[in-house]
C-alpha cells in the first residue's frame, strides 16, 4: 500500500516525497471494547500472558521458534509425524529449514480434519456468478470434490512433485483444483486469468508443468471471454504439458486435442469421492507463485506446506479476526498471492470464503454492496481503484443496502489516497469499521505491515507490523530511522518466507540478501511515525503495479523489441486516478521505421495479446534514445521522472543525458 499525498519536504536520504501530514495525522479509529475483547489476537496474547502488542512484537521477533510453535498450535496445524525442531538456521538466515522432520499435508488441515465432526456441515465457500447464480459448498462437499479432482490427477499419472498449472476464472472449481494438486503432493502453479499466451508459456515452462486446469472461457460484463484458445496456443509451445483439464463454464465451442484435453465433468465428475491424502514433508514444495522482477524471466517464489498457508491464516486471524461463522471476500484472482491466501487462510481457520466470477460494478454499480448485504459478508477486501470508481456515484448507492454484517475492510496491493480512504471509512463503514491496510508480498506469504482489531488507525496508514515480522526502516548507511523515509527491511526469518526462487537460488539471494549481511531488503520505501503508524511510500525498484497486479518491465519490453520496427524499449508505471498506475512504454525505432498511431496501436495490440488486456499500456511513446549507464543499463527511474516532469536526481551515471532531454521535450509539447 502506498501512501500518496501532495509531497512536502523530501527525505534527505532518498529524495522520496514525505506525506504532507506525516507524523501529525489524527487517529480516525480507535478499537472499541467489543473489538479488543473478542479479537483472536487478544485470545492469542492472553494464552501466553502477553500484556501489550508491543510486548508481543518484541517476543515474537526475538524468539522466532517460540512464536512459530505457538502459532502452529493456535491454528491447530496437525502433523502426521511431529516436527523435532521448529527452525534450523544452520544454512544461514536466508535458508532456514522449518518444522524439521515433520510430515503433513496442508489439505489435511484445510479439509480432512473437519470430516469427523459437525464442522463438515459448515459452508466452506460461497460463489456468485455475474448472472446472479449462486452456489455454496460445505466442508464435506468441498472435500468430496477435491477427492474427485485428486483421483482425476492420479488417473493421468500426476502425483507427488509434479507441477500443475491453474488458468481458470474465479469459480468453485478453481479452489477444488488448487486443493487437489496439493492433496496428491503436486506443485501448484496459479496463473492470472487475464494473462496472454506469452505470460502463460513463460510461467508454465519455468515450473515444468505437466498438466493445466483451464476453462472454455468466462463471462465479463455480459460477454464471453475465451480462455481455452490461450491455453491451446500456450500448450503448442510446451511439449512437456501433457494434459489440459477443461471446465465447460461459458458454454463456448472449443477445439479438443484427443488424448491431451479432458472435460472436467467427464474426468473429474465421474471419480470416487474418496481419496487418500499424500503424505508430504513439511518443507516439500506446495506452490510456485510467479512475481515479476525488473529484469529477466518472471521469478517463481517457492512455498511449502508448512509455510505460505500458515502465514496466510495467521495474518487473516490476527489482522482481520476471521473465525468459524465469518465470511471473507477479497477481490482478487487466483494468479495473485491473495487468491491462494484467501482459500488456505479461510479453510485453516474453519471460516467461509466468497468467490465472485464477474465485474464488481456490473450490471449495476452497486453490485458489491448488494453482495455484502445478500451474503452477509463480514470481511471485505476491496481495492482503492474500485472505491475511487464508486465514490463519485454518490452515497445513496451504499446506504440503500444493509452493510451491518461488515466488521472489517481490507485492502492491499496498490496506493490509497486520503479522500477515497475516508469515504470508505466514513460513508460505507459509518466511521465504525476499521480499514485493515495490508502490505507485504508474494515472497512474504502475506504481510509485513498490517492493521489489526486492537490498534488505533490513521487514514491510509498501517497500524503496525505483523506479529513475527522483525521489520525496520534503514537509511542509506544501514541505520534504523523514525520519521524519515528509508528501505523497508526484515531482520529475522519467518515461517512464510519464500524458500527461494524456483531453479534460481542465486537470484533470490541477490534480490533480497545482498545489500546488508543477514538483512532482507524488501524493495519498498517505508517510514514510521512517533505514534507507531507505518507508511509504505512506493517501490524502490522498477516493478510496475497496475490495479494491484505486478508486472516486470522486461515482460513488456521483450514483446515490443520482438517487433521489427522496435530496437529498444522501456516500460514504466505512471500514476492513474483509477488504477493507481498504468503502463507507458517508450520505444526506440529501427532505422527507416516510421512511428505514428498505426504502429502504436499495433504494438498495444501485441502487448494485450501477450500479457492480457488489463496489463496493456495506456500509451506508446516513440523516442530517439533511452537514458543508459556505461554498462548499457536503461535507467527506468530517469525515464519515468522525465516523462512525469519530475526531478531527475543524479544523472552523472548517464552516457547519453540528451536522451532524457528528448523525453522531457516530447512531454512538454503534449
**Confidence at residue 293, expressed as pLDDT on a 0 to 100 scale:** 47
**Confidence at residue 292, expressed as pLDDT on a 0 to 100 scale:** 58
Identify whether the C-beta of residue 369 lies closer than 8 Å to the C-beta of residue 397. yes
10 Å CB burial of residue 199 (0-12, 13-18, 19+) is: buried
Which regions of the chain are under pLDDT 70? Answer: 1-24, 292-296, 414-415, 538-543, 550, 552, 629-633, 649-655, 668-670
Q: Where exactly are the structural domains of the chain?
A: 544-668
Identify whether the C-beta of residue 214 lies closer than 8 Å to the C-beta of residue 241. no
Instruction: Express each pLDDT in 332-379 by its tens digit.
Output: 999 989 999 999 999 999 999 999 999 898 999 999 999 999 999 999
**Confidence at residue 393, expressed as pLDDT on a 0 to 100 scale:** 87
Strand 209-215 to strand 187-190: parallel, antiparallel, or no bridges (unpaired)? Answer: unpaired
Nearest CA-CA partner of 321 in 378, 400, 253, 248: 378
Identify whether the C-beta of residue 483 lies closer than 8 Å to the C-beta of residue 529. yes
Please give the CATH number for the structural domain made up of 544-668. 3.30.300.30
Dihedral sign, CA of 287, 231, 567, 206?
Answer: positive
SS3 183: helix
Helix 40-47 to helix 53-62 angle (10° resolution) is 60
What whole-number distance in Å separates Cα of residue 569 and Cα of residue 613?
A: 19
SS3 345: helix
**Confidence at residue 516, expressed as pLDDT on a 0 to 100 scale:** 96
For residue 61, what is its C-alpha cell? 521477533
**Confidence at residue 656, expressed as pLDDT on a 0 to 100 scale:** 82
SS3 78: coil
**Confidence at residue 239, expressed as pLDDT on a 0 to 100 scale:** 96
Nearest CA-CA partner of 225 in 133, 359, 336, 368: 359
What whole-number distance in Å separates Cα of residue 388 and Cα of residue 392?
A: 7
**Confidence at residue 537, expressed as pLDDT on a 0 to 100 scale:** 75
Helix (H) or strand (E) holding 211: strand 209-215
Q: What's the distance, Cα to Cα, between the start and end of the chain in Å?
A: 31
Identify whether the C-beta of residue 493 lies closer than 8 Å to the C-beta of residue 96. yes
Instruction: Express each pLDDT in 395-422 by its tens digit.
Output: 999 999 999 999 999 998 766 778 889 9
Amino acid at each position: 500500500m502506498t501512501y500518496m499525498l501532495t509531497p512536502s519536504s523530501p527525505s534527505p536520504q532518498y529524495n522520496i516525497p514525505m506525506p504532507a501530514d506525516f507524523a501529525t495525522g489524527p487517529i480516525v479509529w480507535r478499537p472499541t471494547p467489543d473489538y479488543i475483547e473478542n479479537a483472536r489476537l487478544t485470545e492469542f496474547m492472553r494464552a501466553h500472558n502477553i500484556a501489550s502488542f508491543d510486548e508481543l512484537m518484541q517476543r515474537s521477533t526475538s524468539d522466532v521458534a517460540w512464536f512459530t510453535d505457538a502459532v502452529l498450535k493456535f491454528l491447530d496445524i496437525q502433523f502426521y509425524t511431529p516436527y523435532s525442531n521448529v527452525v534450523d538456521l544452520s544454512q544461514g538466515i536466508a535458508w532456514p529449514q522449518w518444522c524439521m522432520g515433520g510430515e503433513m499435508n496442508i489439505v489435511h488441515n484445510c479439509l480432512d480434519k473437519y470430516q469427523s465432526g459437525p464442522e463438515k456441515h459448515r459452508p466452506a465457500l460461497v460463489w456468485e456468478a455475474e448472472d446472479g447464480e449462486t452456489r455454496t459448498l460445505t466442508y464435506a462437499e468441498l472435500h468430496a470434490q477435491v477427492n474427485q479432482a485428486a483421483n482425476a490427477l492420479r488417473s493421468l499419472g500426476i502425483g507427488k512433485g509434479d507441477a500443475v498449472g491453474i488458468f481458470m476464472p474465479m469459480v468453485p472449481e478453481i479452489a477444488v483444483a488448487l486443493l487437489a494438486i496439493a492433496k496428491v503432493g503436486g506443485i501448484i502453479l496459479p496463473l492470472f486469468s487475464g494473462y496472454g499466451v506469452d505470460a502463460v508459456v513463460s510461467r508454465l515452462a519455468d515450473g515444468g508443468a505437466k498438466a493445466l486446469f483451464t476453462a472454455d472461457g468466462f463471462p465479463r460484463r455480459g460477454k464471453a471471454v475465451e480462455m481455452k484458445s490461450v491455453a491451446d496456443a500456450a500448450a503448442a509451445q510446451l511439449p512437456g504439458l501433457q494434459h489440459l483439464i477443461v471446465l465447460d463454464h461459458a458454454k463456448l465451442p472449443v477445439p479438443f486435442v484427443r488424448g491431451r484435453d479432458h472435460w472436467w465433468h467427464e474426468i473429474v465428475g465421474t471419480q470416487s469421492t474418496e481419496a487418500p491424502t499424500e503424505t508430504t514433508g513439511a518443507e516439500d514444495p506446495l506452490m510456485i507463485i510467479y512475481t515479476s522482477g525488473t529484469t529477466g524471466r518472471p521469478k517463481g517464489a517457492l512455498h511449502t506446506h508448512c509455510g505460505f498457508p500458515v502465514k496466510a491464516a495467521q495474518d487473516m486471524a490476527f489482522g482481520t479476526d476471521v473465525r468459524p461463522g465469518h465470511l471473507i471476500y477479497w477481490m482478487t484472482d487466483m494468479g495473485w498471492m491473495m487468491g491462494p491466501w484467501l482459500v488456505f487462510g479461510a479453510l485453516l481457520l474453519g471460516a467461509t470464503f466468497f468467490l465472485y466470477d464477474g465485474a464488481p460494478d456490473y450490471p449495476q454499480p452497486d453490485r458489491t454492496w448488494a453482495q455484502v448485504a445478500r451474503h452477509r459478508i463480514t470481511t471485505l477486501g476491496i481495492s482503492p481503484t474500485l472505491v475511487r470508481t464508486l465514490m463519485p456515484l454518490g452515497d445513496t448507492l451504499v446506504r440503500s443496502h444493509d452493510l451491518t454484517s461488515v466488521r472489517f475492510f481490507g485492502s492491499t496491493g496498490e496506493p490509497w489516497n486520503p479522500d477515497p480512504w475516508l469515504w470508505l471509512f466514513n460513508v460505507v463503514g459509518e466511521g465504525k469499521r476499521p480499514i485493515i491496510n495490508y502490505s507485504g508480498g508474494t515472497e512474504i506469504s502475506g504481510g509485513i505491515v498490517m492493521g489489526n482489531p486492537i490498534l488505533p488507525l490513521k487514514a491510509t496508514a498501517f497500524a503496525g507490523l505483523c506479529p513475527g515480522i522483525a521489520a525496520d526502516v534503514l537509511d542509506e548507511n544501514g541505520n534504523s530511522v523514525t520519521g524519515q523515509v528509508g528501505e523497508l527491511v526484515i531482520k529475522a526469518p519467518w515461517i512464510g518466507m519464500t524458500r527461494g526462487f524456483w531453479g534460481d537460488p542465486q537470484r533470490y539471494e541477490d534480490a533480497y540478501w545482498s545489500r546488508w549481511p543477514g538483512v532482507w531488503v524488501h524493495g519498498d520505501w517505508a517510514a514510521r511515525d512517533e505514534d507507531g503508524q507505518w507508511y509504505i511510500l512506493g517501490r524502490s525498484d522498477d516493478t510496475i503495479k497496475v490495479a494491484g497486479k505486478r508486472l516486470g518491465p522486461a515482460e513488456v519490453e521483450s514483446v515490443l523489441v520482438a517487433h521489427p520496427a522496435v530496437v529498444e524499449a522501456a516500460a514504466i508505471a505512471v500514476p492513474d486516478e483509477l488504477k493507481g498506475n498504468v503502463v507507458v512504454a517508450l520505444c526506440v525505432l529501427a532505422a527507416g521505421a516510421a512511428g505514428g498511431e498505426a504502429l502504436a496501436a499495433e504494438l498495444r495490440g501485441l502487448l494485450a495479446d501477450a500479457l492480457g488486456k488489463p496489463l496493456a499500456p495506456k500509451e506508446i511513446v516513440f523516442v530517439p534514445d533511452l537514458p543508459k549507464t556505461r554498462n548499457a543499463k536503461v535507467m527506468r527511474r530517469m525515464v519515468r521522472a522525465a516523462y512525469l516532469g519530475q526531478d531527475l536526481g543524479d544523472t552523472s551515471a548517464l552516457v547519453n543525458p540528451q536522451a532524457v532531454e528528448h523525453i522531457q521535450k516530447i512531454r512538454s509539447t503534449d
